[in-house]
Amino acid sequence: MKHPFLAKRYWNQEPTDLAKVFQRASGTPNLIDLSLGDPDFTTDFRISEAALQDTKAGWTHYTDSLGIPELRAAIARDYHQTHGLDYQMNELMITVGACHGTYLALEAILDEGDEVIIPSPHFTPYNGQIKLAGGVPVFLQVYEKDGFQVCPEAMEKRLTNRTRAILVNTPNNPTGICYGRKILESIGNIAVKNNLIILADEVYGAFSFGEPFVPMASLPGLRDRTITLGSFSKEYTMTGWRMGYVAAIPEIIQCMRDINEGICFSAPAVSQRAALKAIELKDEIQPKLKETYKRRMDKAYHLINQIPFLSVTEPQGAFYMMVNCKKTGKTSEAVMLKILEEAGVLVLPGNAFGEAGEGYLRIACTVTETVLEEAFHRIGKIKWE
């Protein structure tokens, strides 16, 4: 939008693909929304009640800019108990969601023109975050025929003398796959050999349905070159609390802290207290969520593969699926619009997750199995010429 009050670099900026989709869906009667990854569960009442009591007790002020010590200590204990991975207090920073942490990390490590390799289809905000930090996103396409797994040989071919970091997101949004340990080790070897930083987006780590989740930083030789991005949003159904964290070497954390003092200084005190309670309840909350999402994903997998013009690979993690719609002969956006208009179901076009997503639709299994049945019943009745 061109306007004399706007910076010229934004004059040609268009609304994002996601914004366009949501605008189009607005007002659709009896809409079934399979678009956003916002769980349909309310935050556990014990977390909310603890936060309310903490608010009454005076947790309404700024905190330490790295986050309250009790929460950082709890995260450190959890990593030690779950993964045998040890972090010191000055290696952890609480952020306003994982996206905030991702941006701060990129701002801390990138010089103008530095490149970040991103397997694609990819989480939509990565592109803008890297550019805001002065970097250049370099997309590495992954293919359904390979199970959407990264090809290490192809990754090495994308390296240049400006490559600074590799972004690894597993369990993955939008594909719903999990990278196997061998692939993670191969990526780690590339990083070590070329002295690169690994940005490990592990916000869905609790939802790996097959092999146990393996944090990148836990692999030999990778701890000090890995920036781990975590979140309470999905693993504890706390999206609205805006709670994330970053684990990295002290030098990176200190730089992020300095940058953030000019942005928001610290994460909300009451949300940090809520996150502390969430960790306390981890063993009660996360197994039930994992079981529920796996059941929903399995249900969607069978329902989708019964529809002649759609197909999908078996789910492995998170709660997302990339549904192949190439048999329709239409673009992913055209398929998305037809499904919205004729079935009243909102999904996201695959090209919203990069060019590599063309020919696919992303769905989020954040509704009940009954709603999933209704959604794919409606979609299955659509006629394609």
Average pLDDT over residues 304-311: 96
Interstrand relation of 32-33 and 92-95 (parallel, antiparallel or unpaired): unpaired
Match 């836990």 to its residue by tokens. 218
What topology does CATH give the domain 8-30+284-380?
A: Aspartate Aminotransferase, domain 1 (3.90.1150)
How many angstroms from the chain centroid is the CA of residue 349? 17
pLDDT digits (tens, 9 = 90+) for 162-199: 999 999 999 999 999 999 999 999 999 999 999 999 99
> Domain extents for the chain?
8-30+284-380, 45-281
What topology does CATH give the domain 45-281?
A: Aspartate Aminotransferase; domain 2 (3.40.640)
Residues 6+ apart with CB under 8 A from 113: 134, 135, 136, 162
pLDDT digits (tens, 9 = 90+) for 259-283: 999 999 999 999 999 999 999 999 9
Q: pTM for this one?
A: 0.95
Phi-psi map region of 135: left, alpha, beta (phi>0 left; psi -120 to 50 alpha): beta
pLDDT digits (tens, 9 = 90+) for 129-161: 999 999 999 999 999 999 999 999 999 999 999
Structure tokens at 40: 């349909």
- How high does pLDDT run on average in the chain? 95
Would 8-30+284-380 and 45-281 be classified into the same CATH topology? no
Q: Is 12 exposed, middle or buried (0-12, 13-18, 19+ CB in 10 A)?
A: exposed
DSSP one-letter code for 248:
-
The Cα 49–Cα 226 span in angstroms is 35
Structure tokens at 177: 């796959």
Cβ count within 10 A of residue 357: 24
Cβ count within 10 A of residue 79: 20
